[in-house]
Amino acid sequence: MSNKIFFTPGPTQLFYTYQDHFREAIKQDVGSISHRSKEFMRLFQETRENLHQLLELTDDHRIYFTGSANEIWERMVQNLVINRSHHFLNGDFAKKFYDFALQYQKSPSKTESPFGQAYESMDIPEDAELCGITLNETSNGFMFPAEDIYQIKNENPDCLMAIDGVSALPAIPIDFNYIDTAYFSVQKCFGMPAGLGVWIANKRCIEKAKQMETDGMVTGSYHSLTSFEKYGQKNQTPETPNALSIFILGKIAEDMLRRGVSHVRNETVYKSTILYQTAESVSILDPFIKEKKYRSKTVAVCNVQNGSDTVIEVCKKKGWVLGPGYSDQKQNQVRIANFPMHSKEQVEQLCDFLIREFK
């Protein structure tokens, strides 16, 4: 590995144990064993169990693996929405999920707010079958408060609550009693190379997909929810899976369990606090999200006076890679990731440097 530290919001810095787990995987022939073998089923089960415990899922939740979080947007539209999904949309990633529903010719509705701004209402249409909420909008650093999610679920118990946990889970706590389905990718909080999505779905989701199939609807093929569940019951996958990444994900989940998930989350809060304090005290930086309750704890997004190039370049010389703003904000903003593998010391050093350099 180079001497750089990636504070980019994903792909990002590799988890500090990633290479050790890779070596262990090679030693155990994880890249060569059959995905129908007992060895595979054992590692698959272990990863699922570790994630289950780490995310504090209910007995009702199941875990499946896809190629990306993008794929999960698509699979949810195919498997959980007959006519209408509803989307809370104040950022690029929430918009993508909404666009996927449009591309599949559903009739999605949306509660829209200017990018990065809070929503005026938590009401959703009565006929919404699924409600898509982005817990942490990686593109602009807006955090959807958990309490608002619980309120929406309480007011709409029949609507499937679908949480985009990309760049949030497991660092941001969420009570899965209120969540029917959620998903994330491993190149954020788990510090792994990209190429694996994790889909969590409860029995209500599986029942819905089954019903849609009974009613003659197309829910996909090998990665339909019922196909996932059929193979998942045997601790297998429909296709030859990315066993190596599934193995390593389980091991990193175990590392986090060993540290304690509350410890991981407390550190996230601490590091996020000093990041925003720094942004507020440094003349050229200004947190994009104004109200503290909506500020992402894992991706701090800041407007940068006179453009993002200077601060990115100066940090690069120190070996610290910051993320530019997303899409059309590339030149105006920086995004600084604060994931579980970014240590307190690393974040403190970065903050000290920014204060010295730009005070």
Interaction mask 79-98, a second copy, x per CB under 8 A: -----------------x--
Among candidates 88, 165, 86, which has minimal Cα distance to 121? 88
Q: Is 32 in the site for a second copy (CB under 8 A)?
A: yes
CA 234 to chain centre: 26
Residue 286: what are its φ and ψ, rounded to 5°? -150, 115
Distance of closest approach, residue 27 Cβ to a second copy, in angstroms: 7
**Which residue in the set 16, 21, 31, 90 belongs to the binding site for a second copy (CB under 8 A)?**
31
Residue 309 in 3-state DSSP? helix
Q: Is 29 left (phi over 0), alpha (psi -120 to 50) or beta?
A: left
Among 38, 83, 222, 328, binds a second copy (CB under 8 A): 222
| Secondary structure class of 74 (helix, strand, coil) | helix
- Extract the tokens encoding 319: 């070996």
Running DSSP on this structure, what letter comes out for residue 323?
E
List all residues 6 or more positions away from 284 whose beta carbon is below 8 Å from its beta carbon: 304, 305, 306, 310, 311, 358
Count of residues making up the chain: 359
Q: Quick one: which of 85, 167, 245, 333 contacts a second copy (CB under 8 A)?
A: 245
187 binding a second copy? (CB under 8 A): yes
Is 289 in a helix, a strand, or coil? coil
Under rule CB under 8 A, residue 173 binds a second copy: no
Q: Which stretch binds a second copy (CB under 8 A): 56-64, 79-87, 220-228, 268-276?
A: 220-228
Q: Is 185 in the site for a second copy (CB under 8 A)?
A: yes
Question: Counting contacts by CB under 8 A, is residue 192 touching a second copy?
Answer: yes
Min dist CB 276 to a second copy, Å, is 23
Residues in touch with a second copy (CB under 8 A): 1-2, 4, 6, 8, 10-14, 18-19, 22, 26-35, 66-71, 73-74, 77, 96, 99-100, 103-105, 185, 187, 192-196, 218, 220-224, 238-245, 321, 323
